[in-house]
Structure formats: structure tokens, C-alpha cells
Structure 1
Amino acid sequence: MVMHVSPEARGDERGALLAFIEEQRGGIRRSLLGLTDEQASATPSASSLSLVGIAKHVAEVEEGWIALAGGPKPQVERTQEAYLDGFRLLAGESVKSVLAYWEDVARRTEEFFRAAPGLDDTFPLPDEPWFPDGQEVSLRWLGLHLIRETARHAGHADIVRESLDGKTAFELVALAHQ
């Protein structure tokens, strides 16, 4: 995946946020290196998470947050009944198609952040029991939230990959550079 972000230039807060989001996405993408669709769908750890499921979930969640903040509508809108479909390959999907979808989501996330008038612009949090009633958050908060959520799932991906074949993040970084 190619992103048009680089380390922070002095005063480029948007670029810094986007670079950190991309860095965490890269950890999840690397966890899929060298795996077949079947291997990437395996659930070798105590949880029911698979590597491709983690990637698909993170992409869908990122897309949903950008839509909530006023960006384009999600390509995929999950109902409660179809929530678990966001964690597994469905008919016609593959690791390659999930990564292509995520690349498109990442591109649209960058476009959204770059086009926003300011990072202090706000949007309301959804009406969910885990959010305070009527609270609004800034686009800066959203960028930090996406970093936190993607990093949390990158950690899950590390554990699942090590459970699958013993490969560590260090080995996967080396593999990515081959």
C-alpha cells in the first residue's frame, strides 16, 4: 500500500496523524505476508480472531469513523446481525481483495483529513452506551482514535501471527524488505 504521507514536517499535524495511522496499518498488513487465504483465515490463538479478519475489521471501522465525521458513506455498512461477517472472508473475498479495499479506505481517509478545513472541526459521537450523551469530538481526536484502535489491533495481529507460525514482527519486517 502506498500512502502519500511522510514523517512530520514542521507544523504538519495532519501529516503526522496520517503517518502514525499508516505505520499501524503497516503492522497489520505485514502480519499477512506470505500467507494463503486459508492460513490468513485461521484462528490459532485463544480468541476467534484471524489475521484477515483483523485487517477487514480495522478497514471497515476506519471507513465507518470517517463517514461519521462527515466523509463518504461506507462501502460496507454492517448490521448487528452481520457484525461477525466483518471478521472473516465471505464468498468472493480474499486477502488480496481485503487489502485492496483497505488501501481504498486509507486513500479516502487521507483525502478526508487533507480536505477538512481544520482539525478543530467537530462531529457528534454516535448514540451508543459507551459514549457520553451529546458529546462532540474533533477531527484531531478522530486521528488519535484511529491510531489507538489500529495499534491495538496490530498487537492482536502480532499474537495471532506468532500463534500461527511463530513469525515475529521483526521477522515480518525483514520479509517485507525482501
Structure 2
Amino acid sequence: MPTFVPAEAPGDERGALLAFLQAQRGGVRRAALGLTDEQANQRPSASELSVGGLIKHLAEVEQRWVGMAQGQEPVIPRDQSNWHLSFQLQDGETVAGMLAFWDEVAVGTEKFIRSVASLDDTFALPEAPWYPKGARQSMRWLLLHLIEETARHAGHADVVRESLDGATAFELVDRERAAREG
């Protein structure tokens, strides 16, 4: 799980944006290190957020946005009636399973972004009251939106994890390093 985003080849904006997205995913993944599924489902702060639910939400949201950019219907249909389920692990869902799902989504994101002719290529946004009619966004915007969404929830995951057992992001990086070197 990267904690540092290395410099890309000069002008490799696509690679740099993908690296920043990967680094933010790493922050969320790190918050789950050493947690049981039961702990990952706990909501120890004032919010309804759990580490497991954040992982599920981010995997689904990334898949939804990339699919939208590809002109596909959502794989997992969500609307106002079931949006809350994207933040909750359901019966049979595990943190390990959600992390594996997110890995697959991440591979698909990178493959798609590397396949587009230009980050200036656009896709249609869905009809929604918060988007202008006929709105389009660029692939660059898509990546920046995914980075922003993931970074916001990485902060939430840090707070939830620290509320669970006092582990801070710095301690989790040290634990991760020790496990790799162990």
C-alpha cells in the first residue's frame, strides 16, 4: 500500500493521477489492517461509518463512475432507497472480500484510463437534479473526483480506526512495514 507517490516521467499526467488514486486507496486499506470483520463493521464514532462499509462504498463508487465513463449501466444498482447499503457490509460480505473486489475495480480503472485516447475525452453525466442537463466531464475530472472521494473517506477511515483501538495512520504504516520486513 503506497504511502508516497513517486515522480512520474515528465508529462505523464495519467500515471501521476493513477498513482495518487492508488496512494489514497492505500490509506483506506491500511485502516483495515489487523481488524476482524466484526471490528471492521463497528461504528465507534458519532457517524454511521465503519471501516468495512467505507471500503465497500469506495469500491462500488469507483466501479460506478468508471462504468459511467464507459457508457455502461451500474453493476450494482443504487438509488435513494438503497444507497445506505453501499456503506454497510451485508451477510456474507467480508473485509477480505471487499478488498479483493476493490482490487478488481482498481485494475479495471487503470486499464480503462490507460486505454482512453486523451484525458480530455468526455463522458455524459447521468440525469440528476445536481448536474446541468446534458453535462459532460473529462477523464481528468473523473480521476480527480475519484482521488477526492477516496481521500475524504480515507480521513473518515482513520478516525473510525483510531476510535476502535487507538491505532493511528502512522502506527499502521509502521505495522505494515514491519510485517513486510518480518
Contact 2:54 2:157 in 1 (8 A): yes
1:47 Cα deviation after fit: 0.2
Per the normalisation by structure 2, the TM-score is 0.90
Which whole-Å CA distance do the structure 2 matches of 1:107 and 1:127 have between them?
A: 28
Larger mean Cα displacement after TM superposition, 124-133 or 61-70: 124-133
**Residue 69 of structure 1 pairs with residue 69 of structure 2:** yes
**Which structure 1 segments of 5+ residues have no match?**
none
CA–CA distance in structure 2, aligned partners of residues 156 and 46 of structure 1: 11
- Which amino acid in structure 2 is aligned with residue 105 of structure 1? V
- TM-score normalised by the chain length of structure 1: 0.92
1:71, 1:112 within 8 Å by CA — same for their partners in 2?
A: no
Is the CA contact (8 Å cut-off) linking 2:71 and 2:123 kept in structure 1?
no
Alignment-mate amino acid for residue 42 of structure 1: Q
Name 1:129's counterpart in structure 2: 129
Number of aligned pairs? 176
Task: Extract unaligned runs of 5+ from structure 2.
Answer: none
Counterparts of 2:93 and 2:7, CA distance in 1: 33
CA distance in 2, matches of 1:75, 1:172: 33
Aligned residue number for residue 50 of structure 2? 50
Q: Could you tell me which residue of structure 2 aligns to residue 93 of structure 1?
A: 93
Does 1:146 pair with 2:175? no
* CA deviation profile, 1:97-156 (whole Å, cap 9, x unmatched): 000000000000000001111111001222122222222110011111111111011011
1:77 offset after TM fit, Å?
2.4
Q: Sequence identity, in percent?
A: 59
Residues 10 and 72 of structure 1, relative CA distance in 2, 3 Å threshold:
farther
Runs of 4+ in structure 1 off by over 3 angstroms are: 71-75
